[in-house]
Amino acid sequence: MRIPCPYCGPRDSSEFAYLGDAAPRRPADGDAAAMATYVYLRDNPAGPMEELWYHAYGCRAWLVVRRDTRDHAVTGARLAAGREASA
Amino acid sequence: MADLVHRGGYAGLGRRVGSGDGVVAVEQAGLAAATVIARRGKAEAAAARLGGHLGLAVADAAKRAVSPAATVLGTGPGTWLVFGGEDPGFVAGLAAALAGLAAVIDQSDGQAVLHLSGARLPEALEKGVRIDLDPARFTPEDVAVTSIAHIGVTLWKIDAAPTFAVALPRSYAGSFRHWLEASAGPAGLAVVSD
Ligand SMILES: [Zn+2]
């Protein structure tokens, strides 16, 4: 599997560390139920999803990678930095 | 006060001169080196200031900018690895020029640098590098941070001969040399360090 890092170009997935679903956002402090959901509950889609990958053996940036969970086809990647501002 | 002498990362591993028919590796000792990491939101300003200070056009990209006095390598978003000559004030000069825009960390004793050349270098690199080094795809303007034999390296091209340069943390110099001897040795490798 190859991941198209926007800084480095296409790279083997072995250069990356996987975190998981990019969708969850940390809730405000004090909301225990929302925090439990944020920490524990994940969707498990069959199809395209956005995930966080860290380019550990490359530019050391976090990426949001769009990957199809059925066939591992990677259809895009962007830097995660600044995603809150642009979302 | 004792004068400190710069010892390169490959020093003490022994000079080993094989035929050199295939690959020649030459240690670059005594270089000043620093990482430059832009502060949040300051990548463009830091690139401009870094370029202005060194008289180079520096981009926020995996590109190389070079002058007789300095080499600037893009290693990540808002991050550069910068090499100078033996000027002991090089890193302090960078830090002063980039004050407020970037963190400058002295790596002069942290990075071990080899220049690699030779007719059979491409086939030796193929054994460890997982990116496309075809001359049409990887030029002397390009920089790659990647891994060779599980060792994180910064790789760039000095000329189209091709001569490549590889920088890595000095504590991995022995392991890298082991990979180099295993991969380039059969082609005829000469290592010139020390
Ligand atoms: Zn990258």
| Residue B125 Cα to ligand 1 middle (Å) | 20
**Would the CB atoms of B77 and A9 count as touching at under 8 Å?**
no
Delimit the CATH 3.30.70 region(s) of chain B.
33-106
Is A77 in contact with A3 (CB distance < 8 Å)? yes
Strand-by-strand arrangement of the B163-169 sheet: B16-17, B189-192, B23-27, B111-117, B163-169, B151-159, B143-148
The pLDDT of residue B192 is 87
Q: In sequence order, what are the residues at sequence separation of 6 or more whose Cβ sits closer than 8 angstroms to the Cβ of residue B166?
A: B113, B114, B116, B148, B153, B154, B155, B176
Query: What's the mean pLDDT when you consider all of chain B?
Result: 94
CB B93 within 8 A of CB B134: no
Q: Which residue of chain A is at minimal alpha-carbon distance from B131?
A: A11
- The domains found in chain A, sorted by start residue, are 1-22+44-82 (3.30.2270.10)
Per CB-CB distance under 8 Å, the chain B contacts of A12 are 130
Q: Which residues of B touch A15 (CB under 8 A)?
A: 130, 146-147
All CATH 3.30.1360.120 domain ranges of chain B, comma separated, are 23-29+110-192
- Residue range A52-78: average pLDDT? 97
Per-residue model confidence as pLDDT tens for chain B (194 residues)? 567 777 888 887 877 778 899 999 999 988 999 999 999 999 999 999 999 999 999 999 999 999 999 999 999 999 999 999 888 899 999 999 999 999 999 999 999 999 999 999 999 999 999 999 999 999 999 999 999 999 999 999 999 999 999 999 999 999 999 999 999 999 999 998 76
The arrangement of secondary structure in B23-29+110-192, i.e. its CATH architecture, is 2-Layer Sandwich (3.30)
Shortest distance between the Cα of A55 and any Cα of chain B, in A, equals 9
A-interface mutation test, from B44, B145, B168, most A Cβ less than 10 A away: B145
Amino acid B40: pLDDT: 95
A60: closest chain B residue by CA: B76
Q: Is the pLDDT of residue A34 over 90?
A: yes
Res A86 pLDDT > 50: no
Q: What average pLDDT score do residues A32-44 get?
A: 95
Query: Is the pTM here over 0.90, yes or no?
Result: yes
* pLDDT value, residue B86: 81
- Enter the tokens of residue B186: 């059969």
Reported as a single tens digit per residue, the pLDDT across B122-160 is 999 999 999 999 999 999 999 999 999 999 999 999 999
Predicted pLDDT at B194: 61
Chain pair A-B, CB pairs under 8 angstroms: 40
Residues of chain B found within 8 Å of residue A4, distances taken between Cβ atoms: none
Under 8 Å CB-to-CB from B193, ≥6 apart: which residues? Answer: B8, B10, B11, B13, B14, B15, B25, B26, B27, B29
Mutation target for B interface from A1, A5, A7, A12: give the one with most B CBs within 10 A. A7
> Domain spanning B33-106 has what CATH number?
3.30.70
A76 C-alpha vs ligand 1 centroid, how far in Å?
Answer: 13
CA distance B28 to chain A (A): 23
Q: How far is the CA of A17 from the centre of ligand 1 (A)?
A: 12
Torsion of CA B74, B79, B84, B86, to 10 degrees: -140
